[in-house]
Structure 1
Amino acid sequence: MDIKAAIVRGQGQPFELGSLQLDALRPDEVRVRLVATGVCHTDAIVRDQVYPTPLPAVLGHEGAGIVEAVGSEVTAVEPGDAVVLSANSCGVCEQCLKGRPPYCTDFFGRNFGGTRPDGSSAFSDAGTPVSSHFFGQSSFATHVNAAQRTVVKVDRDLPLELLGPLGCGLQTGAGAVINSLDVRPGSSLAVFGTGAVGCAALMAAAAVGATTIIAVDIVDSRLATAMELGATHVINSRTTDVGAEIARISQDRGVDYALDTTGIPAVLRQAADILGIGGTVALIGAPAPGTEVSFEVGASLIKGWHFRTIVEGDSVPQVFIPQLIRLWQQGKFPIEKLTKTFAFSDINDAFAASASGETIKPVILF
């Protein structure tokens, strides 16, 4: 069938709207008519080839829409169902069977490879393949043949224009706090970077009862939003000594948890340095492959601190996304404070608004 899609044809080039052909549905796939999709920083770094998905490609990985058809092996959804699309995984490797699909042994291939596992692409342009199945979906298109593992059924009466970002960015930030770090009531957390991922972490920390929630950024408007979302303190790192201010806030104890959403080595080092005894620093930003960071391990040895990396919030999307929806329904996860909608034709404006910090979470409407 003929569909419309936003195509990246070369490294760093703008998205180009055009017509493509969508191939036949496979037995383990779900055809989805997209209603909305979030714009994520990962889309931008793949467009710029920091992470190498073959080009030309249709990106997008925070889709939400309506099921139009299902393959013969699909049992979880049926035509007419509303769905949110998330990351893909194989479902049969050791990590998937342990309930850790973000660490699937074929995670990179199924999410960044540009094809199905058999090497075929769902999209073509006058017979020439165009990379598809980005995160199992490629949601910058009016219709997709999504991998069954990406599909999360939601209530039909929910606002799909809000729920798409749960598929990656918001799931990642919230999952880091709730699943990965297991942040406890009464604990302290510093979040470095208050984009969509960082804001989701702040909301989750407030929801689980953390009592000292520190947001660190260089954009004052985002720090103001952070206060609305549950931050108890904000720090502009351009104008304030972050280490000294966190020492003051914590009465020299440091924080229990520090979360770096930026992927900048100097920021990650700073996040580690402000930990308290037994604290944990976690990286959920996406630095380029090969990036290194140094940590002080002499004086900090007696802290017994921990470092870990986190993908997709350590979540099982079919379990965790409904949990986040329930938090939203209770007013504890106010997604609407982060989002701004853009027409599909304005997709490049949405990316510019995200890059400038003007918009925390752009959402494309079809």
Structure 2
Amino acid sequence: MKVTAAVATAPEQPLDIRELELDDPRPLEVQVRLVASGVCHTDAIVRDQWYPVPLPAVLGHEGAGVVEKVGAGVTSVAPGDKVVLAPASCGTCTQCIGGHPAYCTKFYELNFGGARPDGSTMFRDGDTAVASNFFGQSSFASVTNVAERGVVKVADDAPLDILGPLGCGIQTGAGAVLNVLRPGPGSSIVIFGTGAVGMAAMLAAVASGCTTIIMVDIVDSRLEFARELGATHTINPRGTDPVEAVKEITGGGANFALDSTGVKFVFPQMVASLGTRGHGALVGASPLGTEAPFDIGTLLLTGLTVSMVVEGDSVPQEFIPKLIDMHARGLFPFDKLVKHYAFADINEAFADSESGATLKPVVTF
């Protein structure tokens, strides 16, 4: 069938909106007509080839839509169902079976390989294959095919225009807090970066009952917005040493910390901001080969834990409905991070995300 898609063709170049041919869903695939898709930092860095995904490619990995048709072996959804799309995983490796599909042993192949496991792509531009299956979905297309394991059914009245980011960016920040750090009521947390992931982490910290929530960023307007959403303290490192400031605020160091930036000099600051036996998490992506120094002589005495977290270490079929329920009860107002763009304006959405003008762009079809 003919579909409209935004195609990444070269690093640092605008996406090209084209008409492509989409093949039929395979036996364990679901064909979804997209209602909306979030624009994530990972889309930009893959477009720019931080990770070697084949180009041309249809990116997008925060999709939400309605099931059009299903493959012969699909049993969990039916045409007409509303769904949120999540990353691909194999379902059979030790990590998947153990409830950690974000660490699937085939995660890179299934989400960044640019094709199905058999090497086929679902999109074609005339006689040219266009890389597909990005994060198992390639949601920058009006219709796409998704592996059944990557589909999360939601209620008939679910607001699909805001739910797509729950599949990646929002669940990454929230899951790092709720699933990995797990702060208790009355605890302290410092979060570096006030983008969509960092803000989602902050909202999760508020919902967890943290009473000292410190946000660190160089953009004052973002810090002010963070206070409106629940931050108790903000730090702009351009004028203040963030490590010293966190230790002063917390009386020696935070119980928990999160780095959503992926910037190599921020990660050591995050670690140094922790108090004794604190727990920190890294969720920000960096170019492959990025290194950050540790003073292991000093850190050995602290008993710290540092976790590397992908996709919030969540089981999407469990965690996404949980976040939707929290949102419905007013406990997780992530919709305040979202700004909508027409699909035709997707390059504007990318630009606004990069400049910081928009926290979480969502394109609508």
TM-score range, shorter chain: over 0.9
1: distance between equivalents of 2:359 and 2:238? Answer: 19
- Partner amino acid, structure 2, of 1:172: T
Q: Is the 8 A contact 2:283 2:308 kept in 1?
A: yes
- Partner amino acid, structure 1, of 2:315: V
Instruction: Tell me the residue number matched to 1:194.
Output: 194
Q: Is the 8 A contact 2:192 2:266 kept in 1?
A: yes
Instruction: Tell me the residue number matched to 2:274.
Output: 275
SS state at 1:333 partner: coil
SS state at 1:80 partner: coil
Give 1:57 shift: 0.1
- Partner amino acid, structure 2, of 1:303: T
Structure 1: stretches of 5+ with no match in the other structure: none
Give 1:301 shift: 2.2
Instruction: Please give the residue correspondences for 1:61-76 in structure 2 after superposition, counting only pairs within 5 Å.
Output: 61-76=61-76
Instruction: Tell me the residue number matched to 1:357.
Output: 356
1: distance between equivalents of 2:28 and 2:118? Answer: 13
1: distance between equivalents of 2:283 and 2:317? Answer: 21
Could you say what the CA RMSD is over the residues aligned between the two structures, in angstroms? 0.8
Moved more, 110-119 or 215-224: 215-224
Give 1:22 shift: 0.1
- Partner amino acid, structure 1, of 2:69: A
Give 1:300 shift: 2.9
Instruction: Tell me the residue number matched to 1:322.
Output: 321
Moved more, 156-165 or 311-320: 156-165
Moved more, 329-338 or 59-68: 329-338
Instruction: Tell me the residue number matched to 1:5.
Output: 5
- Partner amino acid, structure 2, of 1:76: S
Instruction: Tell me the residue number matched to 1:246.
Output: 246
2: distance between equivalents of 1:244 and 1:305? Answer: 18
1: distance between equivalents of 2:48 and 2:326? Answer: 35
- Partner amino acid, structure 1, of 2:108: F
TM-score (norm 1): 0.98
Q: Is the 8 A contact 2:124 2:130 kept in 1?
A: yes
Alignment of 1:265 with 2:264, yes or no, is yes
Instruction: Tell me the residue number matched to 1:135.
Output: 135
Instruction: Please give the residue correspondences for 1:50-89 in structure 2 after superposition, counting only pairs within 5 Å.
Output: 50-89=50-89
1: distance between equivalents of 2:305 and 2:355? Answer: 33
- Partner amino acid, structure 2, of 1:19: E
Q: Tell me which stretches of 4 or more aligned residues in structure 1 moved more than 6 Å.
A: none
- Partner amino acid, structure 2, of 1:140: F
1: distance between equivalents of 2:2 and 2:19? Answer: 7
2: distance between equivalents of 1:85 and 1:299? Answer: 43
SS state at 2:244 partner: helix
Instruction: Tell me the residue number matched to 2:104.
Output: 104
- Partner amino acid, structure 2, of 1:333: F
2: distance between equivalents of 1:24 and 1:275? Answer: 51
1: distance between equivalents of 2:321 and 2:224? Answer: 28
1: distance between equivalents of 2:11 and 2:355? Answer: 20
Instruction: Tell me the residue number matched to 2:43.
Output: 43
Q: Is the 8 A contact 2:61 2:137 kept in 1?
A: yes
Instruction: Tell me the residue number matched to 1:236.
Output: 236
SS state at 1:42 partner: helix
Moved more, 334-343 or 168-177: 334-343
Instruction: Tell me the residue number matched to 1:179.
Output: 179
Give 1:239 shift: 2.0
1: distance between equivalents of 2:70 and 2:239? Answer: 54
2: distance between equivalents of 1:41 and 1:239? Answer: 27
Alignment of 1:123 with 2:127, yes or no, is no
TM-score (norm 2): 0.99
